[in-house]
């Protein structure tokens, strides 16, 4: 049975049994505790926690998941994956243990012709939480399992939570006995390789605190209702139903390995465990990388971007170790697209953008490998010249951390040069880095207890948002919150959160800032400072009480600042226009990956690999303003996600959408995006759009900034005034200012070059004097001194060579030092006679470099370097003199 059919059978089974089909959430989800979605229940957490009323009693989904905690273990075993699909069924206060067991058992044991998976019931086992007698008896009653095939396990195995404060509960797991050839008898407690877990039924009833019940700690409370959360591993079921040994050999993963075999000429499963690990890394990470990019992640040096970069670079590294040196990521991407797009069509429709990002990252990494190799070669040569045979751990860590150079390539290259690597030191530094990262992550994590204050308010229903139709509305104060606690009233000068039953004030979302405005009532006036959503349903107004006293239950009027709203509409509609212009000029792969807009200003991030030329920026600006001049109609359409996709609407990366979505059109299909923001009614109301900047925000991502409306006009007025002032100063017409400035710059550069020549000539003219003052050190003429401050590296080398030439056939050493602030540079040069006598510049450096707290090296005729202690130059000269004495 193919993997796509396994997924469809699961969803069909549960929709037939009254479950609402819910599409997979994006891997990027609005949750402070998660880098990526790592379980099927993530998008349902607000319902489990009672933060929002569920829109259905039963749901089912196949959720794409990424777990990155065991990246280093991927491939070493066949049990670790970063990307996987979790099929689940969920009950929100509806059925509980009996229903979950019945639904699961019928699906896995029903015959294939009846829509099931057809597993042999005699090969199925179940585990339950230690004291869960109810689940134990239900397995006997519903499934007919004998007692010996139902095993009890402690919280480490049979209690589930997300590893952070939130929902959890005891669980019951279903295992399949693969047979004695896979391990020993005794059930899951004896051997989890032979007995493969395929489904986990979580009886979601607890709320855990900072300490997990998995480790024996008590929950901090009960959830408002008893719920069901299950997770069936699609890939694991595919392994069993396809009769293969592990997930890497299933129909959606094995083709990637096949492509790697084709490119490398090596074979998976041919007996080399090391090669098999590399094949598995390639297959796993290619899928994960594709799915992350499809959901809007771009390679970078922090958080999600860093994880993606690491995954892609591990592919390149593994392929290189298989003997392939040409670019490969595009080839693997095409295979993943062909195998996965039946379930995830965006992999095909968005393939040009995804492939472009992967190729660019590969080019960057290959360049990094080249530069890292050069750095390694310099370090290795210096070590060997100093008689050392081991690369220090801090050097290996620097290559890995600063240059992205993999440790296994460092080990391989060191072996080729007859060196070893201090792996212990490297691992210790890596462990310290991981500990810091975990500490930072833990510090950023927050539980869900701080949102429990809104539960009662959410139970009263969602806030009615009226801001699309009106700027004012009468409302009732449902509740007041101050510092995480409900209060009944707030007095003048206090800052408090106000929850209304209805509001015209826009809550920050979709890149748009919240509205400014006021809330007034009998004897009270509030200044609105911010508006945020809780559980995407409750509008929370953060206010300052200007006068009077606000009390719960008061009838008030909420007012949006009309000038603010005009500017906000211009900024958000301008963002859509610039995005459409961007795609028109650069092509459909230039998709928005993030945005921010406020009155008069917009910022748009988009996937692109290189800087835009001035002509391209001008063209984008012109296309944008032409759209404004055309007075294009702005239309809003409400539909479901399927209808939006049929319209060709652009869904933005990382955004979460409701079942009913809002599509904003500007000029019909020219700009059609899913958006909940406030917009103008015709494009001409945006006013002029002026691009003010274009920059990089990470590998494969660029940023455009622009002013719109009156802010654009003010910006242009300042630019005009600047040009007029320059024209007056230069005494030329305004249109001649650029040419005159360019001429002045050319003259200035010419003058600087002449000054540089004069200075260099003056410096070199002192070479003869310096050579004449050489001191004799055991038969070697030594010129060692500090030259005037500010002499740069090139001039220092030139002077050292000239002094060396003036020493003629004598055995001579020239060592010149130059300081600049808290830095010091040096050059050491030797004459041919000195080198014949065994004196090498590169070998002299270690004798004095510690005095200036520096490092350096080079060849026998010349060496150079730098340091951080200018005050140590005199000591360095003394050390060099001593080295020549003992040479």
Instruction: Give the 3-state secondary structure of residue 163.
Output: coil
Q: How far, in Å, CA of 305 to CA of 317, rounded? A: 18
217 is annotated as contributing to ligand binding: no
Q: How far, in Å, CA of 51 to CA of 49, rounded? A: 5
CB 125 within 8 A of CB 168: no
CB 583 within 8 A of CB 619: no
CB 256 within 8 A of CB 249: no
Q: How does 582-608 read in b/e, with b if 16+ C-beta sit within 10 Å?
A: bbbbbeebbbbbbbbbbbbbbbbbbbb
Compute CA 417 distance to the chain's CA centroid, rounded to the nearest angstrom: 36
Query: Which of 883, 813, 826, 887 is CA-nearest to residue 856?
Result: 826
CA distances from 651 to 67, 151, 403, 569, 645 (A): 24, 46, 35, 20, 9
Q: How far, in Å, CA of 745 to CA of 732, rounded? A: 16
648 contact partners, CB below 8 Å, separation of at least 6: 669, 672
CB 142 within 8 A of CB 105: yes
448 is annotated as contributing to ligand binding: no
CA distances from 724 to 711, 712, 735, 742 (A): 20, 18, 10, 17
Instruction: Give the 3-state secondary structure of residue 495.
Output: strand
**Residue pointed to by tokens 């809007």:** 296
CB 142 within 8 A of CB 108: no
The Cα angle at residue 220 between residues 139 and 153, in degrees rounded to 5? 30
CB 9 within 8 A of CB 116: yes
DSSP string, 337-371: HHHHTTT-THHHHTHHHHHHHHHHHHHHHHHHHHH
Instruction: Give the 3-state secondary structure of residue 688.
Output: coil
Instruction: Give the 3-state secondary structure of residue 865.
Output: strand
SS (H, E, C) 84-119: EEEEEEEEECCCCHHHHHHHHHHHHHCCHHHCCCCC
CB 271 within 8 A of CB 280: no
Structure tokens at 570: 């211009």
Q: How far, in Å, CA of 702 to CA of 612, rounded? A: 9
Structure tokens at 868: 């951080």
- 294, containing H or E segment: helix 273-294
Give the start-end residues of each E strand in 102-251: 124-129, 150-153, 159-161, 166-177, 195-208, 221-233
- 842, containing H or E segment: helix 841-848
Q: How far, in Å, CA of 127 to CA of 150, rounded? A: 5
**Residue pointed to by tokens 């710059």:** 745
DSSP string, 20-79: EE-PPPPSS-S-TT-SS--STTGGGHHHHTTSS--S-SEEEEEEEEE--TTGGGBTTBSS
Question: Residue 164: exposed, middle, or buried by beta-carbon count in 10 A (0-12, 13-18, 19+)?
Answer: middle
CB 166 within 8 A of CB 448: yes
Taken in order 244, 246, 249, 250, the sign of the CA dihedral is: positive
Known binding positions = 572, 576, 675, 679
Known binding positions for Zn(2+) = 572, 576, 675, 679
């Amino acid at each position: 049975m193919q993997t796509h059919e396994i997924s469809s059978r699961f969803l069909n089974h549960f929709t037939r049994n009254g479950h609402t089909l819910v599409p997979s959430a994006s891997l990027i989800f609005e949750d402070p505790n998660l880098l990526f979605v790592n379980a099927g229940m993530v998008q349902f957490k607000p319902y489990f926690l009672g933060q929002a009323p569920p829109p259905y009693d039963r749901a089912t989904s196949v959720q794409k998941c990424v777990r990155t905690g065991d990246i280093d273990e991927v491939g070493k075993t066949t049990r670790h994956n970063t990307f996987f699909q979790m099929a689940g069924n969920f009950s929100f206060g509806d059925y509980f243990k009996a229903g979950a067991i019945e639904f699961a058992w019928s699906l896995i044991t029903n015959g294939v012709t009846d829509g099931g998976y057809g597993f042999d019931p005699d090969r199925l086992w179940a585990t339950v939480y230690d004291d869960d007698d109810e689940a134990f008896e239900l397995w006997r009653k519903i499934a007919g399992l004998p007692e010996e095939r139902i095993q009890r396990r402690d919280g480490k195995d049979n209690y589930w939570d997300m590893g952070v404060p939130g929902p959890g509960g005891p669980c019951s797991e279903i295992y399949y006995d693969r047979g004695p050839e896979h391990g020993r008898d005794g059930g899951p407690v004896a051997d989890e390789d032979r007995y493969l877990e395929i489904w986990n039924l979580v009886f979601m009833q607890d709320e855990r605190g900072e300490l997990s019940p998995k480790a024996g700690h008590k929950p901090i409370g009960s959830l408002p209702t008893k719920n069901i959360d299950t997770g069936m591993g699609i890939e694991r079921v595919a392994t069993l139903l396809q009769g293969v040994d592990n997930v890497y050999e299933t129909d959606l993963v094995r083709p990637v390995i096949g492509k790697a075999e084709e490119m490398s000429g090596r074979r998976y499963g041919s007996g080399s465990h090391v090669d098999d690990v590399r094949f598995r890394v390639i297959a796993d990470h290619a899928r994960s990388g594709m799915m992350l990019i499809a959901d809007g992640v771009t390679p970078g040096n922090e958080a999600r971007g860093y994880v993606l970069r690491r995954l892609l670079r591990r592919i390149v590294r593994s392929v290189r170790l298989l003997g392939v040196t040409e670019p490969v990521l595009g080839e693997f991407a095409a295979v993943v697209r062909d195998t996965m797009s039946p379930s995830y069509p965006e992999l095909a429709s968005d393939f040009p953008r995804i492939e472009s990002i992967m190729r660019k990252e590969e080019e960057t990494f290959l360049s990094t490998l080249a530069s890292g190799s050069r750095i390694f070669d310099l370090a290795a040569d210096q070590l060997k010249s100093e008689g050392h045979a081991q690369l220090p751990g801090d050097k290996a860590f620097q290559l890995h951390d600063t240059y992205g150079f993999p440790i296994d390539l460092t080990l391989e290259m060191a072996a080729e040069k007859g060196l070893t690597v201090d792996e212990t030191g490297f691992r210790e530094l890596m462990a310290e880095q991981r500990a810091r990262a975990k500490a930072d992550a833990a510090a950023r994590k927050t539980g869900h207890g701080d949102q429990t204050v809104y539960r009662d308010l959410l139970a009263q229903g969602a806030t009615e948002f009226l801001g699309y139709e009106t700027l004012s509305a009468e409302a009732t104060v449902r509740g007041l919150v101050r510092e995480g606690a409900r209060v009944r009233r707030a007095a003048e000068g206090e800052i408090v959160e106000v929850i209304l039953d209805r509001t015209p004030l826009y809550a920050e979302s979709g890149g748009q800032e919240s509205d400014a405005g006021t809330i007034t009532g009998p004897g009270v006036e509030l200044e609105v400072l911010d508006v945020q959503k809780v559980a995407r349903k409750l509008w929370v107004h953060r206010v300052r009480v200007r006068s009077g006293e606000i009390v719960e239950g008061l009838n008030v009027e909420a007012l949006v600042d009309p000038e603010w709203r005009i500017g906000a509409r211009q900024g958000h509609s301008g963002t859509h226009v610039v995005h459409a212009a961007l795609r028109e000029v650069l092509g459909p792969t230039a998709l928005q990956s993030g945005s921010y807009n406020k009155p008069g200003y917009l910022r748009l991030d988009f996937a692109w690999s290189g800087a835009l030329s001035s002509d391209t920026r001008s063209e984008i600006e012109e296309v944008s303003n032409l759209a404004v001049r055309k007075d294009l109609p702005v239309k809003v359409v409400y539909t479901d996600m399927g209808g939006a996709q049929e319209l060709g609407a652009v869904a933005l990366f990382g955004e979460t959408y409701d079942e009913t979505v809002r599509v904003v059109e500007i000029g019909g299909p020219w700009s059609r995006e899913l958006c909940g923001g406030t917009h103008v009614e015709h494009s001409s109301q945006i006013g002029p759009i002026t691009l003010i900047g274009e920059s990089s925000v990470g590998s494969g991502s660029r940023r455009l900034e622009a002013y719109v409306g009156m802010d654009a006009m003010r910006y242009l007025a300042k630019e005009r005034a600047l040009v007029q002032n320059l024209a007056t100063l230069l005494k030329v017409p305004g249109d001649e200012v650029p040419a005159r400035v360019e001429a002045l710059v050319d003259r200035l550069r010419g003058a600087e070059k002449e000054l540089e020549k004069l200075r260099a000539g003056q410096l070199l003219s002192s070479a003869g004097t310096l050579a004449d003052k050489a001191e004799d050190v055991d038969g070697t003429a030594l010129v060692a001194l500090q030259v005037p401050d500010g002499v740069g590296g090139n001039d220092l080398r030139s002077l050292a060579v000239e002094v060396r030439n003036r020493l003629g056939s004598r055995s001579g050493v020239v060592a010149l030092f130059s300081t600049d602030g808290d830095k010091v540079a040096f050059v050491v040069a030797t004459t041919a006679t000195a080198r014949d006598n065994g004196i090498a510049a590169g070998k002299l450096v270690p004798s004095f470099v510690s005095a200036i707290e520096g490092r350096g090296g080079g060849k026998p005729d010349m060496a150079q370097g730098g340091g951080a202690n200018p005050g140590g130059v005199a000591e360095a000269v003394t050390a060099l003199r001593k080295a020549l004495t003992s040479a």
